[in-house]
Structure 1
Amino acid sequence: MPYATTNDGVELYYEEAGSGHALIFVHEFAGDWRSWEPQMRFFSRYFRCITFSARGYPPSRVPEDVSRYSQARARDDVIAVLDHLKIDRAHVVGLSMGGFATLHVGIAYPERVRALVIAGCGYGAKPGMKQQFHDEIETSAALFEQEMAQAARRYTISPNRVPYQNKDPRGWAEFARQMEDHSALGAINTLRGVMKERPALWELVEEMQRITVPALIVCGDEDEACLEPSLLMKRAIPSAGLLVVPRAGHTNNLEDTEVFNRALLDFFTAVELGRWGLRDPRSTKPGLLIEPKDQAAR
């Protein structure tokens, strides 16, 4: 099995396919390297595609100490895989927990990024929600301490997964079964070390305002907890576009695979052609008319 070793000695399992510019996928809490199979099959026709399992997710190693799990480590682990494969720059695509890691890669390592896709990102990030989010993390961790399979079943039928179950029961069932394969210890440490301790998006506005690499934000319109955070990222990141998928929940890449893949392909094509720039500041102002003094802005 191929492994990349992180700067603190954790081995991360990865797979790759295709050739060309690099495209790396970063999975969500309920997923692993398998979660991106529809994207690996499609995008490897055009790109060198990499998928990997985060620390705590077999066949990657599962450190026992929760102190070895954090948002910063999740961010740096993406870079560790790129370094192992001798990739200078890549398109980085992340969902949910992986979307947070992708955002932090864009903040900390813009020189390593061709473009960012941040999907289903923002749960627990709204102002005033921190204590509720922390309580939910501890409740979830307690479930994983009792029984992995039962906890996985409950986690994968959360409100933002209901659209996926209704739309594609067979695909949802496979997704739920795969989560049952995860390490209970890895899940618990990820909840408490990465998710519980990560900064809320509203605390990162100044950092997001400095991102200039092309970015695409993706959110399902029935992913309630991520709608407002997605708008926040669209408004804060000068290079960001926003795609809201109708009648869709949290698991964008699996639930609406064709829509997701086509949107990303169009985005990457625009980036590669140099047609995805910063937002024109004139479009940020309210009103029906452009002021005369702004007419010469372009």
Structure 2
Amino acid sequence: MPYIDSNGVNLYYEDTGSGQAIIWVHEFAADYRTWEAQIRRFSRDYRCITYNARGYPPSDVPENKDAYAYEHYREDLRNVMCALGIERAHIVGLSMGAYAGIQFAMKYPARTLSLVFSSGGSGSQQKDREKFRCETDEGADRLLQEGMESGARGLAMGATRVQLLNKDPRGWEEFRRCLSEHSTLGSALTLKNYQALRPSLYDYEEQLKELDVPILLAVGDEDDAVIEVNLFLKRTLPQAGLWIHPQTGHAMNLEEPDQYNSRIAEFLSAVERGTWRRRDPRANPDRPIFVGEHAN
């Protein structure tokens, strides 16, 4: 199996196709396997890199909670690129992976060709911060008590996961089975130390205003926990576009693979042609409906 050493943690990866690189960064309830529909589509035209985060076998499962601080996930992404000789890449992240992706883009904008920020932002709303932390800690404790088999079914039946069950029962069962194979310890430590303790995206408002990177915000309209933060990001990021898919939950790449792939392909094409533009400063909601004849 191929591995990359990321500051002492071995990360399993797969490298498919050739051309400009796309790095696919998975969510908490997923792993490299859940990008299969995307790799089959995009490896025809791009070099596609998938990898398992720390805590997700066959990557290493550190036992030290400090190894799961959010900064490590950003640096894991950088170390994957460095080890594979990739100077710049398109980044596609979903949820936990989207957070790592936007952290990477803020710290290393020159290495970020573009970012697809999918289903990201859970726990960022200030009014829900304490509730999110408590529920995340409780979920981790439940995993440790009951194990991944029980935990996987409970999570797969969550409010933003039943959409996949209703649309694609076979796909949902595959998702649940893959989730049940994850490390109980790795998943619990990820919840307690990455998910629960990472800063709110609202804390980065000033930095995000200066993030001059093409970004596609992608969210399902039934993924209620992240819709508001994506509206905030749309209004804050200078080069962001927002795509909201109807009747869709959290794992939008699994629920709507054709639409997801199509939107990303259109976005990448626009970025590479130079037609993904910054928001026109005249598109300001504070401007009057009617402007003067000579207004710029």
**Contact 1:5–1:12 (Cα < 8 Å) also in 2:** yes
Q: CA RMSD in A?
A: 1.0
Q: CA deviation at 1:123?
A: 1.3
1:25-40 equivalences under 5 Å are 25-40=24-39
Q: CA deviation at 1:12?
A: 0.3
**Contact 1:282–1:294 (Cα < 8 Å) also in 2:** no
CA distance in 2, matches of 1:248, 1:4: 34
CA distance in 2, matches of 1:290, 1:266: 33
Q: CA deviation at 1:277?
A: 2.1
User: Corresponding residue for 1:240?
Assistant: 240
Normalized against structure 2, the TM-score is what? 0.97
Aligned residue type for 1:289: F
| Aligned length in residues | 294
How far does the alpha carbon of each residue in 1:94-119 deviate from its partner, in whole angstroms, 9 at most, with x for none? 00011111110111110111000000
CA distance in 1, matches of 2:115, 2:214: 6
User: Corresponding residue for 1:197?
Assistant: 197
Q: CA deviation at 1:213?
A: 1.0
Structure 1: unaligned runs, 5 residues or longer: none
Normalized against structure 1, the TM-score is what? 0.96
User: Corresponding residue for 2:108?
Assistant: 109
User: Corresponding residue for 1:81?
Assistant: 80
Change beyond 3 A, Cα 1:185–1:239: same
CA distance in 2, matches of 1:9, 1:291: 62
CA distance in 2, matches of 1:293, 1:179: 59
CA distance in 2, matches of 1:64, 1:236: 37
**Contact 1:11–1:61 (Cα < 8 Å) also in 2:** yes
User: Corresponding residue for 2:152?
Assistant: 152
1:221-260 equivalences under 5 Å are 221-260=221-260
CA distance in 1, matches of 2:294, 2:39: 48
Structure 2: unaligned runs, 5 residues or longer: none
Residue aligned with 1:163, SS: helix
Q: Does 1:279 align with 2:279?
A: yes
Residue aligned with 2:161, SS: helix
Residue aligned with 2:216, SS: strand
CA distance in 2, matches of 1:171, 1:104: 30
Q: CA deviation at 1:292?
A: 4.6
User: Corresponding residue for 2:14?
Assistant: 15
**Contact 1:282–1:290 (Cα < 8 Å) also in 2:** no
User: Corresponding residue for 1:58?
Assistant: 57
Q: CA deviation at 1:148?
A: 1.5
Residue aligned with 2:247, SS: coil
How far does the alpha carbon of each residue in 1:143-168 deviate from its partner, in whole angstroms, 9 at most, with x for none? 11011110111112110111111111
**Contact 1:17–1:48 (Cα < 8 Å) also in 2:** yes
CA distance in 1, matches of 2:59, 2:294: 57
CA distance in 2, matches of 1:194, 1:118: 18
